[in-house]
Chain A
């Protein structure tokens, strides 16, 4: 009966339970190798258990091998969750800008992306919108918006954007009414 209940709990939230299992040192019982395969590409599993990126994410990372490298993708080739996974794997920030069907991704460092006000204005003039960026870390504290995050929204003529952490969690940040 106990086993049945445990299985039900695992089904309900497999990623969190996998992480808990690892913390408890019983990963072999609750997550056989075949299960680990299915967690590929999931930010929480990458951050907590260092599982692999998905093939698509690995391709993205390969094209952004160095600090400040940038790459344009089709809109359906990369998402903010993918960037969260890359941040979980590398410990580096990534930022994404969208123009029509294109997404521009820029790789940053451990605590910033090299997009200052001048570069942001250039991107805005080119027609890009600021889709979001990532901050390394596993809690919500690392996601609290900065004054710079808010000011950059104004450059892109937006009222809000998102920041993702290394576990795929995100906060929306939004300008006030005035």
Chain B
């Protein structure tokens, strides 16, 4: 999925511009992905001190999926706040 996102980078940049969010933040954040989708995530490092003893999922800020005609983007409420703030402060 990483290669797919890179191949459609202009779509991601357009989406970020339209949503007034930072594309740099999207790349700066951790992500998990399969061959068909990618979750861009965020978490508080202060609460991530338990190693493999805790599986609580990190928050998802942006979902990118392979669509029929190109990538599909879904910004979560958390993502709207965090990625726009990142844009504001950067």
Q: Measuring CB to CB, which residues of chain A are less than 8 angstroms from any residue of chain B?
A: 93, 95, 108, 111-117, 119-120, 133, 135, 140, 143-152, 163, 169-178
C-alpha spacing A144/B63, complex, angstroms: 12
**Taking the complex as formed, is B69 at the interface, i.e. its CB lies under 8 A from any CB of chain A?**
no
Given A111-B55, A112-B55, A152-B52, A147-B45 contact (CB < 8 Å):
yes
**Taking the complex as formed, is B6 at the interface, i.e. its CB lies under 8 A from any CB of chain A?**
no
| Chain B interface residue bracket vs A | 20 to 34
Given A143-B32, A177-B28, A112-B43 contact (CB < 8 Å):
no
A141 to chain B: closest CB distance in Å?
Answer: 8
Q: Add 16 more A-B contacts to A112-B52, A115-B53, A173-B33 (CB < 8 A).
A: A95-B52, A113-B53, A115-B51, A115-B52, A144-B41, A145-B30, A147-B43, A147-B45, A147-B56, A148-B52, A148-B53, A148-B56, A150-B30, A151-B49, A171-B32, A173-B30
Cβ-neighbour of A133 out of B2, B37, B52, B58 (below 8 A): B52
User: Which residue of chain A is the closest to B58 with respect to CB atoms?
Assistant: A147
Cβ-neighbour of A171 out of B34, B48, B53 (below 8 A): B34
Contact across chains for B58 and A146 when beta carbons are under 8 A apart = yes
Majority-rule SS of B interface residues: mixed
List B contacts of A143 (CB < 8 A). 32
Contact across chains for A169 and B48 when beta carbons are under 8 A apart = no
C-alpha spacing A12/B30, complex, angstroms: 35
**Taking the complex as formed, is B10 at the interface, i.e. its CB lies under 8 A from any CB of chain A?**
no
Cβ-neighbour of B53 out of A112, A147, A169 (below 8 A): A112
Give B26-46 interface residues, CB cut-off 8 Å to A. Answer: 27-34, 37, 39, 41, 43-45
Q: Measuring CB to CB, which residues of chain B are less than 8 angstroms from any residue of chain A?
A: 2, 27-34, 37, 39, 41, 43-45, 47-58, 60
Contact across chains for B30 and A176 when beta carbons are under 8 A apart = yes
User: Which residue of chain B is the closest to A155 with respect to CB atoms?
Assistant: B51
C-alpha spacing A151/B55, complex, angstroms: 12
Cβ-neighbour of B60 out of A108, A144, A175, A176 (below 8 A): A144
C-alpha spacing A145/B40, complex, angstroms: 10
Contact across chains for A146 and B51 when beta carbons are under 8 A apart = no
List B contacts of A93 (CB < 8 A). 52
Contact across chains for B41 and A108 when beta carbons are under 8 A apart = no
List B contacts of A171 (CB < 8 A). 32-34
